[in-house]
Chain A
């Protein structure tokens, strides 16, 4: 049956358009306006052209933050995606324990960001935190407020703790959708465990895995609260990720112009990466069916 084509139906999405315009498009336009002007408060603006963009493009501070951000996202993706798949593969497929695992895995996802940050901030403290105290007692030097490596390990482990179960839940949903017939066919062919994973499970999970990668990338690329609560961007600037730097610039120093130019470039990077992911995802779906 052909779909009925009626362009008047577009009017039904009008409320959404108005809402998005109010909450996203108009504020974004304002940011663009700020990015080409300078202000000393009092809502008085002076035209500066593309100066802020030029300044930001040559700002070591921004490139360093971008480098740290990319490193952070790369590390957590390399850990969380394989780990999530591994957990999903080893979860009970049905019955009480399956539901039990699902509930337990959803728990970290329900905890607000700042609470996760606070938990780890205390957990890692050498004087009162279980982790910090234990490591210290074992003679391992660990102090996330002074040691760069310890700070990075802490925020990475914290993110893995918080979000791996999202990947696992998505991968589990992908695994559940594979019909038994595939496994039976594999058994008849005496396929090895690896072959089953490589040729049945992985291709069938590809769609949800792409969504997991996209979600985890976006979230980690925009992360603010957790590292801010734990390390405050320190020691020095060692864990100052993009959004922490941006907030410092926009609200701490009230440099609206440079912060606006910074935000626009940040936005463009996110936009292009999301577009690549989206294109890859839709092409995968087309290939599959």
Chain B
């Protein structure tokens, strides 16, 4: 594992991603849901909305870093708001 140059923050990052995926997989099996149409006019399931959230969050973080460049943790608050919006309306 040493060659992978692990650090605690990146390890925690991947653990969070992996557990989110696990939780959503279990949810999809236990409570299957029909796709629904949202503001983007495309059919999405919970998994799709998670993907949109994660990908969007990556860009929100990069934009924050590029434009504001300080107090990066606050970008996560924006991401949470974005996630809530995606799960509510997309």
| A contacts, CB < 8 Å to B | 7, 26, 29-30, 32-34, 36-37, 39, 43, 45, 47, 50, 53-54, 57-58, 265, 268, 271-272, 275, 279, 283, 286
Report chain B residues within 8 Å CB of A58. 66
Q: Bound complex: CA of A36 vs CA of B12, how far in Å?
A: 13
The total of chain B residues at the interface (CB under 8 A) is: 22
Judging by beta carbons under 8 Å apart, are B62 and A279 in contact? Answer: no
* Beta-carbon contacts under 8 Å, B1-52 to A: 2-7, 9-10, 13-14, 29, 42-43, 51
Contact of B4 among A29, A57, A268, A271 (CB under 8 A): A29
Judging by beta carbons under 8 Å apart, are A37 and B66 in contact? Answer: no
22 cross-chain CB contacts under 8 A:
A7-B29, A30-B3, A32-B14, A33-B7, A33-B10, A34-B5, A36-B7, A36-B9, A37-B5, A37-B7, A43-B2, A43-B3, A43-B5, A45-B7, A54-B65, A58-B66, A268-B55, A268-B58, A268-B59, A272-B55, A272-B59, A279-B42
Q: Bound complex: CA of A45 vs CA of B9, how far in Å?
A: 14
Q: For A286, give the chain B residue with the smallest CB separation.
A: B43
Please give the distance in Å from A34's CB to the nearest CB on chain B.
6
Judging by beta carbons under 8 Å apart, are A283 and B42 in contact? Answer: yes
Known A30-B4, A33-B5, A268-B62; 13 more pairs at CB < 8 Å: A7-B29, A29-B4, A32-B14, A33-B6, A36-B7, A43-B2, A50-B65, A53-B62, A57-B65, A57-B66, A272-B59, A275-B55, A283-B42
Among A29, A45, A58, A272, residue most surrounded by chain B Cβ atoms (within 10 Å): A29
Please give the distance in Å from A227's CB to the nearest CB on chain B.
27
Judging by beta carbons under 8 Å apart, are A47 and B51 in contact? Answer: no
Report chain A residues within 8 Å CB of B5. 30, 33-34, 37, 39, 43, 45
Judging by beta carbons under 8 Å apart, are B59 and A57 in contact? Answer: no
Q: For B41, give the chain A residue with the smallest CB separation.
A: A283
Report chain B residues within 8 Å CB of A283. 42-43
Q: Top 6 A-B pairs ranked by shortest CB distance?
A: A57-B66, A33-B5, A30-B4, A45-B5, A33-B10, A268-B58
